[in-house]
Amino acid sequence: MSALPPAARRTVLKGAAATVGAAGAGAALTACSTESDSGAGSPAVPAEPVELGAASDVPVGGAMLFRKEKLLVSCAEAGQYKAFSAQCTHAGCVLDKIVEGQGNCPCHGSRFDVTTGKVLRGPAGDPLPEVPVRAEGGKLIAG
């Protein structure tokens, strides 16, 4: 059996490299949409009312993440609450922390204003959806 001429060998190697590159790109795209806490397939806003806990836990002038419920609640003034989905509008990952009034997405670095839901840094392009919230009997109820 004879060896491939240099031009044919180069073609085979290019094809192998392209296949490996495509497989790597597929893995990267898969990781983008299947993060372990992405919430993919679950709604960004609750379908039914959800009790979040004591209203007093949300600091006046601050905000609090409720990761399990995928919600973010801010309190601009005593008794005045606003809630947003804590599910990033880019790939569906759940925000992991609040830093200087910004909700942080751990997957791709998007940042959101915790008082308005507005995108402050992409790749997310859409704001966080607002969720109705009320204080009732000292507890926060969202949805």
**Residue indicated by tokens 């495509």:** 22
The reported pLDDT for the residue numbered 14 is 54
Between CA 111 and CA 4 the distance in angstroms is 54
Mean pLDDT by 10 residues, the chain (143 residues): 55 49 42 41 76 95 95 95 96 95 96 97 96 96 93
The reported pLDDT for the residue numbered 36 is 40
The reported pLDDT for the residue numbered 46 is 84
The reported pLDDT for the residue numbered 43 is 61
Question: What are the helix (H) ranges across the chain?
Answer: 6-33
| CA atoms within a 13 Å half-sphere pointing along the CA-CB vector of 54 | 3
- Model pTM score: 0.70
The reported pLDDT for the residue numbered 114 is 97
Angle at CA of residue 69, ends 68 and 72, nearest 5°: 105
